[in-house]
Amino acid sequence: MSLSLSPEEQAIAARRDGAGIAMRIVAESARLLGAPRLIPIASTHIDGALYHGDSGTLFAEKLVEGGAQVAVRSTLNVGALDLMGCSRVRLEEPQRGMARRMMEAYRKLGCEQSWTCAPYQAGHRPALGSDVAWGESNAVVFCNSVLGARTNRYGDFLDIACAIVGRAPDYGLHRPENRKARLVFDVSGLSPSFLASEIAWPVLGSLYGREVGNAIGVVAGVAAHPGEDALKAFGAAAASSGAVGLFHIAGVTPEAPHVEAILAGPEPEAVIRVTPAMVAKARAGLSTAAATKTIDAVAIGSPHLSNAEFDSLERLIAGRRLAVPIYACTGRHALAQLERDGRRKRLEACGVVIVADTCVVVTPIMPELGPELGNGVLMTNSGKFAHYAPGNTGYAVLYASLADCVESAVLGKPVFTDIAA
Percentage of the residues of the chain whose pLDDT score is greater than 90: 95
CA distance 308 to 164: 34
What confidence tens digit (pLDDT) does each residue in 176-193 have?
Answer: 999 999 999 999 999 999
CA distance 199 to 418: 10
Please enumerate in sequence order all residues whose Cβ is within 8 A of that of 273, keeping only pairs 6 or more positions apart, or say none.
186, 189
CA distance 137 to 154: 9
Residue 374 confidence (pLDDT): 62
Q: Is there a contact between 347 and 354 (Cβ–Cβ < 8 Å)?
A: yes
CA distance 235 to 308: 18
Average pLDDT, the chain: 96
pTM of the full structure: 0.96
Mean pLDDT, residues 211-228 taken together: 97
**Dihedral sign for Cα atoms in the order 408, 277, 207, 246:** negative
Q: What would the 3-class secondary structure string for 10-61 be?
A: HHHHCCCCHHHHHHHHHHHHHHHHCCCCEEECCEEEECCCCCCCHHHHHHHH
Which of 383, 149, 141 is CA-nearest to residue 283?
383
CA distance 117 to 135: 9
Please enumerate in sequence order all residues whose Cβ is within 8 A of that of 46, keeping only pairs 6 or more positions apart, or say none.
74, 75, 76, 77, 106, 111, 135, 159, 160, 163
Beta bridge partner(s), residue 353: 327
∠35-133-301 over CA atoms, to 5°? 140
CA distance 28 to 35: 10
Q: Is there a contact between 90 and 61 (Cβ–Cβ < 8 Å)?
A: no
Alpha helices by DSSP H, 134-289: 137-142, 158-165, 192-195, 200-212, 228-241, 259-262, 276-285
∠164-123-262 over CA atoms, to 5°? 85
Residue 369: which pLDDT band, with cuts at 50, 70 and 90? confident
Residue 373 confidence (pLDDT): 55
Q: Is there a contact between 38 and 26 (Cβ–Cβ < 8 Å)?
A: yes
Question: Residue 420 pLDDT more than 80?
Answer: no
CA distance 208 to 229: 17
Q: Is there a contact between 333 and 116 (Cβ–Cβ < 8 Å)?
A: yes
Residue 29 confidence (pLDDT): 98
Q: Is there a contact between 381 and 393 (Cβ–Cβ < 8 Å)?
A: no
Please enumerate in sequence order all residues whose Cβ is within 8 A of that of 126, keeping only pairs 6 or more positions apart, or say none.
42, 43, 132, 143, 147, 149
What confidence tens digit (pLDDT) does each residue in 269-279 have?
Answer: 999 999 999 99
Backbone angles phi, psi at 233, to 5 degrees: -65, -40
Which of 308, 117, 316 is CA-nearest to residue 229?
308
CA distance 395 to 35: 42
What confidence tens digit (pLDDT) does each residue in 110-157 have?
Answer: 999 999 999 999 999 999 999 999 999 999 999 999 999 999 999 999
Mean pLDDT, residues 392-416 taken together: 96
* H or E segment and range at residue 343: helix 343-350
Residue 375: which pLDDT band, with cuts at 50, 70 and 90? confident
Which of 215, 205, 131, 149 is CA-nearest to residue 178?
215
Tell me the Cα Rg of the chain.
22
Class of the 7-172 domain? alpha beta
Confirm whether 7-172 and 288-411 share one CATH topology.
Answer: yes
Residue 368: which pLDDT band, with cuts at 50, 70 and 90? confident
Residue 291: which pLDDT band, with cuts at 50, 70 and 90? confident
* 263 secondary structure, DSSP code: B
Q: How many residues does the chain have?
A: 421
Percentage of the residues of the chain whose pLDDT score is greater than 70: 98
Q: How many CA atoms lie within 13 A of 177 on its CB side?
A: 2
Q: What CATH homologous superfamily does 288-411 map to?
A: Aconitase, domain 3 (3.30.499.10)
Domains of the chain: which residue ranges?
A: 7-172, 180-284, 288-411
